[in-house]
Amino acid sequence: MSSLENKNNLSRRKFLGLVGGTALGAFIFEACGVPEQEFIIQAPVDMPEDYVKGEDDWYATLSDTSSHGESLIVRIMQGRAKKIEGNPDFPNTLGKHKTVTETELQSMYHPDRISGPLYRKTSSGNHRPITWKEAKSIINNATSSQGTKTIITKPVRGLNRGLIEKYASIKNMKHLSLASLRDNSMYETTKDVFGTKDLPYFDIKNSDLIISFGLDFLGTWGPVEYEYQFGKFRIKENRGYLYQIEPRMSMTAAAADKWLCSDPGKEGLIALLIADSLLKNEKIKNEDVEYFKKIAGIQEINELNNSNVSLDPKSVGKATGIDYHAIEKLIEKINYSIDKNKKIMFLSGGCVSGYSNSRSINALVYGLNYITNSVNKEGGIIINPENELKHILVNGEVIKMPSDSSWDSYEDWSKEIETWESGGQDLIMINNVDLVNEIPGKKRLVDAIGKAKLSIGFGIVVNDTLERCDLILPSNTSLQSWSSDIPEPKTGYQSYGFGQPVATKPLLRDGSKVLYDSKSFNNVLLDDLEGNLSGLSFMDICMELSDNIYESDSYKNSSIVASSKDDFFRGVMARGGWWNTNQPKVEPKNPEINVINSVASIKRSKNEFYLIPFKSHVFGDGNSLSNPWALGSPDPLTSITWDTWVEMNNKTAEKLDIKAGDIVEVKSEISSIELPVYVHPAVPTNTVAVPIGLGKDNFTRYASGRGANVVDLIDSSKLNENGDIMWNSTTVQIIKTKENKKISKFEGNVPAVQVEPGVPILTLAPGETAEEGFHRAHEEHLEHTFGDHFGDEHSNEKGDH
Amino acid sequence: MVAEKQSKFKWGMAVDIDACNGCQACVIACQSENNIPINTEDNFKDARGIEWIRVERYWEGEFPNVKAKFIPILCMHCDNAPCEPVCPVYASYHTVEGLNVQIYNRCVGTRYCANGCPYLVRFFNYWEPEWPESFQNHLNPDVTVRSRGIMEKCSMCIQRIRRGTRDAKKDKREVVDGDISPACVQACPTDALVFGNQKDPESRINKMKNDKRAYTLLDHLKTNNNVWYLAKVDPDIEAHHGDKHHGEGNHKEDSH
Amino acid sequence: MQQRRILSEKQINAELLNGNLATPKWYFPVMGVLGTGVIIGFITILYMFNRGLGVTGLARPVYWGLFITTFVFWVGISHAGIMISAILRLTQAEWRRPVTRAAELLTVFSLLTALFFPLMHAGRPWRIAYWLLPYDFARGIWPNVRSPLFWDPIAIGTYLTGSTLFLFVALIPDLAILRDRTTGIKKGIYTVLALGWRGNPRQWQLQVVAGILLSALMLPIFVSVHSIVSWDFAVTPAVEGWHSTIFAPYFVIGAVHSGVSAVVTMMCLMRWLWKWNNYIRPEHFDALARLLIVVATAWLGFTFLELIFSLYGRDAPEIALRELQIFTWPWNLIFITFLLTGYIIPVGCWLFKRCRNNIAIMFWTTILVNVGMWLERFLIIVPGLARKQVFVYTWEGYWPSPVEWIIMTWSFAWVSFLMLLFARFFPLVPLFEAKESQVFTTEMKVGRATVPMVIRE
Ligand SMILES: Nc1nc2c(c(=O)[nH]1)N[C@H]1C(S)=C(S)[C@@H](COP(=O)(O)OP(=O)(O)OC[C@H]3O[C@@H](n4cnc5c(=O)[nH]c(N)nc54)[C@H](O)[C@@H]3O)O[C@H]1N2
Ligand SMILES: Nc1nc2c(c(=O)[nH]1)N[C@H]1C(S)=C(S)[C@@H](COP(=O)(O)OP(=O)(O)OC[C@H]3O[C@@H](n4cnc5c(=O)[nH]c(N)nc54)[C@H](O)[C@@H]3O)O[C@H]1N2
Ligand code: SF4
Ligand code: SF4
Ligand code: SF4
Ligand code: SF4
Ligand SMILES: [Mo]
């Protein structure tokens, strides 16, 4: 960039900075760019007296914790971030945030943040500090030379992904993305079922009956907006009813009105049974049934049954391990809702995506929505329109803006790792992914990374993967970086999220020394480019997008009205993004799917258990666990903190003579780990469940060496219909060891069962008042405990039973 | 008493446990807002974790008819607070706006108030809280960082209430419902928590506390709570009142 | 019954001053052991002040534990003095004479020790002045007079002042004797303390009147001290097992039970250590044991009343608490031990005259009583907290840490140490009372029993 442009840039910034402090809010510029243009807000230690305002400002930016593109507002005082809240304006945040989002503050101020670039020449040598200048030249040498080069990131969307893809294509690199316990199947299948490019939107709030097959939309999947909607779903006048069908009690199952616990892999039978009963229902008269038939690959109803289980509640109950009365009741409820014209929605994903036939189950379940006429209807599944802007032009270069976070299947990963192992890899560049802990086979991965000629890792703190890299680079947190994202799923209309640096680098209190010298990943990539994009910072690209939106057709009637590009950009930054609620509906296209494989057979011998690895609501994929707030927050169902555990049914535990805290060996065909037992009444007797996220050797002073990593137990050689690992298809043996440990949990040492129904949690029948409810509960209690017949007029009735 | 009557505000909270999904967002939000010390592994093992708001999970029934039920519990800001008269130094104190607040400076740490509180929402600092220097950057400057040997508890985010009322005064307007929200309320994704001024007849909290599902915890102790709970609803249970016809499918399933 | 002998004044002086004018052989070794315990205790206390209460085993919801238990225990023991010197004096029970001082002394030292506990147990003991003294006039901050924790120091302070005065008034004539039998610095100190006692009739008269007046003044304290301590618990509606209207009399009678038992224990020791067989005689034990049977039975009645009252309401949390207290391991063990040691074994023994007159049996049974009484306080204080209200989710246990055990043990070493230290410099049995009793007491045969008779003072 020429010095002239440079100046222009500065003046534009100054201008923006000056007006920034007005009612809309403002933004602060990041201490990273090319060339370094720094605008550091001074910390109070060396701040002139007249500068101390004692007032706070709130800035909008994007969340790094959520994988759905959620927007946050951050409270800033004296350049330091003090509090994170959900952006109240933003469509998929609505002023809320996911449980651990606030821990991003601690990522920002983590005492173990990498202080500066570290480098080692040989894979066995020690890392030593180098300057960014040296680091840049190492990167440049490696990326500019010929060879096999890969860049690895989390699944990203929008400009963030556009830039990475651009960079990869210029540098002739391959881009791979990775996320833990991936729900690929659900993402891919919904797109095929509804014939769209983007994930559809679930109108939970307006639904009357939701039947969810494993989709943990109140837990570890989905934007926080779905939790918000669930609240409304529950407290609206006609209270909604939620069924959750899955082999482990997730957060959604816990909150559901009814949880049906199916054996893993058998859920499809219930979907078939529902389909069968729906298709026989005379009230169902709609052309969309054809869509379902296409998905199911059938012409007539009787073709539905392709397994040797007949489609009646009893047989399905037997096959799935669910009490058939409950299945009857489910069918009854669905038919009743149809009779009363209530809105039904069928969802699928989560656990269900971890079997060999995940694609089939997901497809069948989402297909049911066609039968009940719930597609593109209020209270049903809404097809998201595509974004108008598919790419932008920056200095003549096309930067794409994909709106979906596709991730690479394990099939691709497996090929990639083989290349590394063969020694043919020249460069691996990893941004903020703990590869070795997230893919089964840690040792193999560690060796494979070691074989690459050069490995570069970006991160905030050192983790097991970064530790193996030759060049370790400190990256900015989301609170310090420019970014641009497209929320996924969109909320029925197009929207873009913008992230900006909101806080400066923390300084040591007793001096002006910077605690760490980090840069934003995107800017390092830009910095490494020659040609048209050289000299730009990611902020410039974000501004370019803003300008593009301003000039686009859909700008009119959207969330921001502005008189100029700058004004518009300021508005976008103040509100955390841009969206246009006035977008016309789009209709689903022909489903591009045609499979039925309703039953996955997971072989389990008598003394074995199904293993369900899961993301705890608080631990998530483990990437926030460097922060003590996340580690020290109780998992909602077990209240466990700071550790991993194996959930085991109380009866099973009794049978195996296992008590809470006993350490057991969980042994799969591949490997085995040792974990303490949490005795859990809501785990099926034939199943054990283990959360992912810990078991890392090196992950800050807080998370290093804690717990065990259940990913190690998964057989990655068997892949499902989507070419992905079958997370929930492992069986394990449980072997008791002699050890026992005190589990760190919030819950006391007494099984938490209410001493009397109604205290402290009162449960009412529909329409009942609190007083009546208490009365009923107390009577039940007295009768149950003392055999009393207190309740005068009711005692007779009770006697009749 | 007179001052209480004259005050424009009487704060309160309503918790709809039918909406709460037990997500714990309120817990972290409160920790972040109120400079609650890092709860270490040992703190939890020793039952000394500090959570001004906690989410209790109760089990009901046996597999497969097992239910997990969540209830967020914070200080009830009792009008008739048992934690107040027992404190020898007036550190547990009632404001004219109906809040029970804790004056850290005065507290000598007898923990008598904690015994007095039926709701177990008062927490004692057994150790000097450790704040790594860098984490001190994110401390909320509006909230005292407590030292060891004292009690701490939910203040209904009094710093936010003060800010909200002050801003309204500065702008020469009344405080409107929704202007002020404590950190937990703000964070609660399901909107299960609602905060407001009971003296404002239009406030949501007033509607909620008069809802037919509303009840207060440990009503028999007559602590006169300012936190109301809206009961959970289970469509599958039957009320004693009204129609007595027996439900269809579900009963069969539950009765064996 | 042992033969009574009439003792000469000279013999009384010699025997009762045998610990003051010469040092018994066992004295230094015993003091050495106790002193070590005291030092270890103080070091532990300092360690706790330095590190914070984290070193205890206290946790949510059990915010009070061993320290408060031991506090109540020592306040209970302190009832020794009030029972013996005030009640028995006013009812003119003649056999009280040789033990009045030791009992009063035990009161003073156990109260002093009891006061340590709430101080130590506070999170910021250095700020305790806030709690006790209304000193912050400028900001108008006063202690909260509604708090039982404010009544505690007043009640105990009054009791402590009264007991100290009582002890001192009764000590004056003996101090004069010591003054006359010592030389050097010692003599100087005794001279000052004896307040110019010459033993003339006016002085005797004043001394007796002061004693009787103090006894009468202390009577309300007899009722108030442990009542007030019980209100620390009883005013707390949140804790099942604490919020009970019968706590005040229940605690008082329990305190008498443990206080009188402690006096008996001490009498045994005095007999053994200083060989005061002539002054502390089996009939004293007999009389005390009979008294104890009555007290213990009344106390047991309260114990069961308290249980029955609480179960009568059929409150779920109340039942859960009793289930824990009585039936759940390891609390059931504590409960059984408490019943056995607090009542069944001792009272069972005392029913037999042979046991009542056997010093060793009396020693061990009264020790058992105080083991039981300590457990009683523990069983009242801790389970109620561990099962607080309906919040089953936060129900926890409590296991005291070594620091708490050490400090509790320290309190026993500390009281014994102080008692022995006192015994080294002052007579434990009041000389003048011993002499008086020679004059006033005689025996009389009533049927087959020989009972001590009192000639009115
Ligand atoms: N870097 C930095 N600058 C600051 C501040 C900061 O914290 N850091 N704080 C700001 C604040 S809050 C303040 S109040 C100002 C204070 O700034 P100043 O008012 O400049 O205060 P001092 O530096 O204390 O010096 C005052 C001078 O008065 C002289 N002096 C002392 N006694 C007397 C006297 O009786 N009569 C006369 N005539 N002279 C006397 C002293 O020798 C000294 O030279 O500084 C402000 N500037
Ligand atoms: N020894 C000595 N003592 C002095 C003086 C002196 O010259 N020498 N000068 C005197 C004078 S003139 C003055 S003005 C005083 C100043 O004394 P203080 O008012 O104590 O001033 P500081 O130490 O500068 O800042 C107080 C604290 O406020 C924090 N702080 C900074 N910004 C904010 C904010 O926005 N909100 C909140 N809540 N906290 C914030 C800072 O981190 C710091 O910890 O000192 C007086 N005392
Ligand atoms: S712990 Fe503090 S607030 Fe509680 S009673 Fe004691 S002094 Fe008062
Ligand atoms: S809930 Fe507890 S701490 Fe809060 S006011 Fe009531 S008694 Fe006091
Ligand atoms: S009101 Fe404020 S202090 Fe109280 S629990 Fe909620 S966040 Fe914490
Ligand atoms: S944040 Fe809301 S939904 Fe989540 S646990 Fe707290 S009260 Fe419940
Ligand atoms: Mo100043």
Per residue in C382-431, pLDDT (tens digit) is 999 999 889 999 999 999 999 999 999 999 999 999 999 998 888 888 87
Ligand 4 within 6 A of B83 CB?
yes
Q: Are strands A672-679 and A608-614 parallel, antiparallel or unpaired?
A: unpaired
Touching subunits of B (3+ CB pairs, under 8 Å) are: A, C
Tell me which residues of chain A have a pLDDT lower than 50: 1-53, 791-801
Contact yes or no for A612/A216 (Cβ under 8 A): no
Q: Tokens 């907006």 map to which residue?
A: A225
Number of domains in chain C: 1
From the CA of B142, give the closest atom in ligand 2: 38
Residue % of chain B over a pLDDT of 90: 71
The pLDDT, as a whole number, for residue C437 is 63
Burial zone of A717 (CB within 10 Å; 0-12 exposed, 13-18 middle, 19+ buried): exposed
Contact A329 B213 (CB under 8 A): no
Name which of A398, A396, A388 is nearest A159 in CA terms: A398
Mean pLDDT of chain A: 85
Touching subunits of A (3+ CB pairs, under 8 Å) are: B, C
Note whether residue C4 is domain-resident.
no
Give the end-to-end CA distance of chain B in Å, rounded to a whole number: 56
pLDDT band, residue C127 (cuts 50/70/90): confident
* C-alpha A348 to ligand 6 mean position (Å): 24
d(CA C392, CA A244): 27
Contact A764 B186 (CB under 8 A): no
Which residue from C317, C319, C393 is facing A748, i.e. has the nearest CB? C393
The pLDDT, as a whole number, for residue C456 is 42
Which residue from C316, C394, C397 is facing A755, i.e. has the nearest CB? C316
Residues 6 or more apart in contact with residue B59 via CB below 8 angstroms: A681, A682, A751, A752, A753, B66, B67, B68, B69
pLDDT of C238 above 60: yes
The pLDDT, as a whole number, for residue A181 is 80
- Min Cα distance A675 → chain C (Å) is 23
Contact residues, chain A, for B191 at CB < 8 Å: 228, 231-232
Q: Are strands B67-73 and B54-60 parallel, antiparallel or unpaired?
A: antiparallel
d(CA A198, CA A388): 13
Ligand 4 within 6 A of B94 CB?
no
pLDDT band, residue C452 (cuts 50/70/90): low
What is the b/e burial string over C402-414, where b = at least 16 CB atoms within 10 angstroms of the residue's CB? ebbebbbebbbbb
Long-range CB contacts for residues A551-559, cutoff 8 Å, separation at least 24: A552/A388, A552/A389, A553/A388, A554/A388, A554/A494, A554/A580, A554/A582, A554/A583, A555/A580, A557/A582, A558/A582, A559/A89
From the CA of B114, give the closest atom in ligand 3: 4
DSSP classification of residue B143: S
Question: Would you call A212 helix, strand, or coil by DSSP?
Answer: strand
- Min Cα distance A247 → chain B (Å) is 11
Integer Rg of chain C from CA: 23
The 10s digit of each residue's pLDDT in C197-227 is: 888 889 989 988 998 888 888 888 878 999 9
Contact yes or no for A197/A191 (Cβ under 8 A): yes
* C-alpha B17 to ligand 5 mean position (Å): 17
pLDDT band, residue C451 (cuts 50/70/90): low
Q: For residue C384, what is the nearest residue in chain B, using CA coordinates? A: B115
Residue % of chain C over a pLDDT of 90: 51
- Min Cα distance B168 → chain A (Å) is 15
Note whether residue C379 is domain-resident.
yes
pLDDT of C130 above 80: no
pTM: 0.86
Domain limits at C258? 9-452
Note whether residue C79 is domain-resident.
yes
The 10s digit of each residue's pLDDT in B129-186 is: 888 888 888 998 888 889 899 999 999 999 999 989 988 988 999 999 999 999 999 9
CATH (domain of C264) = 1.20.1630.10
Q: From residue A515, give the alpha-carbon distance in Å to each of A334, A573, B97.
A: 59, 27, 43
Ligand nearest to the CA of A44: 2
Contact residues, chain B, for A776 at CB < 8 Å: 239-240
- Min Cα distance C127 → chain B (Å) is 6
Interface of B with A in 4-33 (CB under 8 A): 16-19, 21-25, 27-29, 31-33
Give the DSSP letter string of A658-683: --TTEEEEEE-SS-EEEEEEEE-TTS
Two tokens, residue C438: 């020679």
Q: For the residues B185-198, what does the mean pLDDT come to?
A: 95
Contact B127 C54 (CB under 8 A): yes
Number of CB pairs, chain A paired with chain C, less than 8 A apart: 36
B interface test, pick of C58, C63, C136, C389 with most B CB neighbours within 10 Å: C63
Number of domains in chain B: 1
Q: For the residues B221-226, what does the mean pLDDT come to?
A: 94
- Min Cα distance B254 → chain A (Å) is 9
Touching subunits of C (3+ CB pairs, under 8 Å) are: A, B
The pLDDT, as a whole number, for residue C46 is 95
Residues within a 6 A CB radius of ligand 2: A 44, 52, 54, 77-78; B 141
From the CA of B82, give the closest atom in ligand 4: 7
* C-alpha B54 to ligand 3 mean position (Å): 21
Burial zone of A377 (CB within 10 Å; 0-12 exposed, 13-18 middle, 19+ buried): middle
Residues 6 or more apart in contact with residue C414 via CB below 8 angstroms: C37, C38, C41, C113
What is the b/e burial string over A300-339, where b = at least 16 CB atoms within 10 angstroms of the residue's CB? ebeebbebebebebebbbebbbbbbbbbbbbbebbbebbe
pLDDT of C231 above 50: yes
The pLDDT, as a whole number, for residue A293 is 86
Ligand nearest to the CA of A52: 2
Contact B214 A770 (CB under 8 A): yes
* C-alpha A49 to ligand 2 mean position (Å): 10
CATH (domain of B163) = 3.30.70.20
Contact C390 A756 (CB under 8 A): yes
The pLDDT, as a whole number, for residue A53 is 45
* C-alpha C420 to ligand 5 mean position (Å): 55
The 10s digit of each residue's pLDDT in B23-82 is: 999 999 999 999 999 999 999 999 999 999 999 999 999 988 999 999 999 999 999 999
Domain limits at B231? 2-255
* C-alpha A77 to ligand 7 mean position (Å): 21
What is the b/e burial string over A391-417, where b = at least 16 CB atoms within 10 angstroms of the residue's CB? bbebeebebbbbbbbebbbbeebbebb
Q: For the residues C85-91, what does the mean pLDDT come to?
A: 73
Provide ipTM, 2 decimals: 0.85
Residues within a 6 A CB radius of ligand 3: B 86-87, 89, 91-92, 107-113, 151
pLDDT of C80 above 90: no
* C-alpha C270 to ligand 7 mean position (Å): 70
Note whether residue C3 is domain-resident.
no
Ligand 4 within 6 A of B73 CB?
no
d(CA A757, CA A753): 9
d(CA B143, CA B102): 12
* C-alpha A108 to ligand 5 mean position (Å): 23
The pLDDT, as a whole number, for residue A61 is 94
Burial zone of B243 (CB within 10 Å; 0-12 exposed, 13-18 middle, 19+ buried): exposed
Ligand 4 within 6 A of B99 CB?
no
Beta bridge partners of A430: A152, A457
Q: For residue B143, what is the nearest residue in chain A, using CA coordinates? A: A82
